[in-house]
Structure 1
Amino acid sequence: MCRNIPTRGYVAENMGRTVTTISDLIDSGQGLWLEGLAGEHATLSLLADNRQGHSIAGLSVTLDACDRVLQAGKVFDQLIQEKLREGFYGGRLAMELLIADALHAANLMLPNFQKSGGLNGWVAVPYSPLSTNDTANMPETVPLDDARYRQPNLMISIAGLPSRLPTIESLITLNISLNIGLLFSSLQLRAVAETILQAFEGCLIAGRKPSSSCFLTIPVNRLLAGFSHLFPEKSAVACVNAVLLEICLVARDLFETRRWQRVMEFGAQRPRLVCSFAGSIELCRSNLSLVREIGAVCSVAARCQDSGSSVPDRIPTVPDGKAGHRDQQQQSASGSICAGIDIEMLANSLQKDEDDALLRSWISLLDTIARKSAALTAVCHV
């Protein structure tokens, strides 16, 4: 999600600016989701030490970040050697590295998770795009019987594609928490929300309390890229603002319906929105007040090319009593701004493109691991 993430030397050089910017957001009361961490958790550790991560709702260990760290140094070398001796290779070895990395982060965030009663402190681990397409076997491939992977603040990242909805329902039924991504429209969000609700209702019918937590991620920065192919920058930003507003309002109304209220009365957690801006400063400035109003989490890159300017220093606030008026104004404006655009066709196209990119990232990671494994094996035989 955050492209061109720098190497290790940049982290030490720019740590202060990264933490300062994130701290400013924390001071403003904004919940955060950090992206792009893998192998090295200096940023997270510093945040945990200095702030106890009060507003860090969660973070994502990503395929691209893991691939980058593997290529850049020896962070994973010892673990790879251990797993090779245990007979792991290919996709299984990749998952071992990703989950071990996520567990490291989850342990750092566990005090925050416990202190917030499970509201904050989550860590999302990516799963193989190949496995998540296997609806029948995906739940079985999650190592539920391994105590290491039952960390209470660990969740699985999965794309909210139509083909993955049965898998999402199965995982929630198994009480696995999820970070569901690639939601580009209100219809896509509705489909995922209905799947989550059905899974919760299934738990209640079976006499079990629904215990999964779910985050729904909207890649706002990718929406901007999609609209930028159709409009000049200013108009593209206006379209994104309108689409994001519609998604947020639909989510708010959905979770206030009687069916949702009923499952929440029996212990189900309301899904939380994550709005990923990934360095798009204009989108941050124009939408962060909306994000705060609906209680969504703002996703920022933990380390990106210009950490000090990836998000605004302070979040603008909305005067009391203005929210309802603005809803009406922007809903009216959204119809004219996006007139003539098939939003759903664009959303489906973006979803497919991003899912294809995830598959390419997985293949690249497997290739890097294969080369790294071969090199380490050769050294051992010298």
Structure 2
Amino acid sequence: MLKETYICASCHAVYPSTPYIWKCKCGGLLNIEWERPAFSKEQIQSGLPGMWRYASALPFHSESSVWKDTTMGEGATPLVPLSEEDPHTFVKVDYMMPTLSFKDRGAAVLIAKAKEWGVKKIIADSSGNAGTSFAAYAKRTQMECDIFLGTGTSPKKIAQISAHGANIRMVDGTREEVAQAAQLAVQQEGTFYASHVFNPYFYEGTKTYAYEIWEQLSGAPDTVIIPVGNGTLLLGVYQGFCELLAEGLVTSLPKIVAVQAENCAPLAQAFHEQRLDIKSVQNKGTIAEGIAIAAPARAKQILHAIKQTGGYIVTAKEQEIKKAHAALAEKGFYVEPTTAANYAAYLKHQKTAQERIVLPLCGAGLKAV
């Protein structure tokens, strides 16, 4: 029998893993602990779709097949050289997902866990991509779904969420106020909070990004460059490579280089001031809407992960993001501005001659205005 518990990252209180606990009584965020089996190459199930080839490393009962009714083939995305001029730099085309963004990794696992628990309705808040993922997977598993969005959300993402039959609840406010409205509704309605920030099962999904890179490169890269707002991909990548290191499948952790838009960069500010806590900043407006988070809830964990790998944080100006967007398109990759910020940061990175670098292409350009 699989034993799962929640551990508060702040006060270390322990809670049972249930669908209706999403934060500690002290207000702290929860991490998940479970009896993880030793993982090896022999346990990779090549006959399973996408990221579920690593099912033995995911927190489901060994006899559970609930994910089979949830999956749409997410994961197993291509890892290709950026160009002939950069043979040691790779892009992982994570927009080749069912809803066209990497968020499908986390949403698939979280919704499968919710289905295993018997959840009938979910509430989520999003700047767009997480909302499209949750809406799609909730519909596939016949769950009711309310998605809270800010009025500045891309119309294309709103249309995608609506197409999946979700109930859209618009909030005229900041990204943080959108989250607060969703949390209030969760409390009032007693509904499952499918949060890609607060629910640690989401990171069990995004960690498969690291597993795939490890398998595709036959080891860890030297550096991964990741756009970060709430840190859902960065924390998953860190967790995944830490697990691989613990099993002796890699010899070291890759350096994590985090990217923020200069117009909304609370993590960069904290990092350069050598703090593990953040000060909420004013979002001055950025086309990289996916990382425009003024006060990321898991800031301390994000900053810790970057420092543990010897990484750093770089910011990108709006004009740099626009130029990077055009440059990627010339290479054949049509991406969201958030991903373009990632490439803008890569252009600033002082790489060595043989340094192996991986950049995620997080979302398709068709989703953005």
Scaled by the length of structure 1, the TM-score of the pair is 0.28
Larger Cα Rg: Structure 1 or Structure 2? 1
The structure with higher relative contact order (CA 8 Å, sep 6+) is 1
